[in-house]
């Protein structure tokens, strides 16, 4: 297996872990996450929009994490990168939604972290 494909598999594994953990955290601590986001974003967005964004990001994260896991298996057994690529694209959309909220709320440290994840996702997409 060539190094680029090994890196692609590691990127998929990374985002499987990140997005499944993050999505499950949002489900199991929904009220805590919603309260945090309402406190952070209430002067910029309405509570229904914040709730919608939380639900949307949670769905995108879970779908992305599942697709990254399936993408690992599909790549190993079928040499196909399509499912993994789809997982990275959906995860990138979730990251952009999160980045928007961080930038609007002027949480630049949080935005930096998301930017690092986004760069890694772009590397994974380029390697697909």
pLDDT of residue 15 exceeding 80: yes
How far is the C-alpha of 100 from the C-alpha of 62, rounded, in Å? 19
Q: What are phi and psi of 80, to 5 degrees?
A: -105, 135
Q: What percentage of residues in the chain have a pLDDT greater than 90?
A: 98
Tens of pLDDT, residue by residue over 23-36, are 999 999 999 999 99
What would the mean pLDDT of 48-72 be, rounded to a whole number? 98
Alpha-carbon torsion, ordered 84, 86, 19, 9, to 10 deg: 20
**What's the mean per-residue pLDDT of the chain?**
96
Tens digits of per-residue pLDDT, 62-78?
999 999 999 999 999 99
**79 Cβ contact list (under 8 Å, min separation 6):** none
Signed CA dihedral, 110, 42, 26, 100: sign only: negative
Structure token digits, residue 23: 């999505």
Q: What is the pLDDT of residue 1?
A: 67
Does the global pTM surpass 0.75? Answer: yes
pLDDT digit string, tens, across residues 96-118: 999 999 999 999 999 999 999 99
């Amino acid at each position: 297996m060539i190094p680029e494909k090994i890196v692609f598999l590691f990127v998929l594994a990374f985002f499987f872990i990140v997005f499944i953990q993050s999505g499950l955290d949002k489900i199991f601590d929904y009220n805590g996450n919603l309260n945090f986001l309402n406190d952070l974003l209430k002067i910029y967005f309405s509570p229904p929009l914040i709730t919608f964004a939380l639900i949307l990001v949670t769905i995108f994260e879970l779908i992305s994490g599942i697709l990254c896991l399936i993408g690992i298996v599909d790549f190993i057994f079928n040499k196909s990168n399509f499912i993994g690529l789809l997982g990275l694209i959906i995860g990138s959309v979730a990251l952009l939604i999160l980045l928007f909220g961080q930038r609007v709320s002027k949480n630049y440290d949080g935005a930096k972290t998301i930017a690092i994840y986004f760069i890694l996702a772009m590397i994974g997409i380029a390697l697909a």
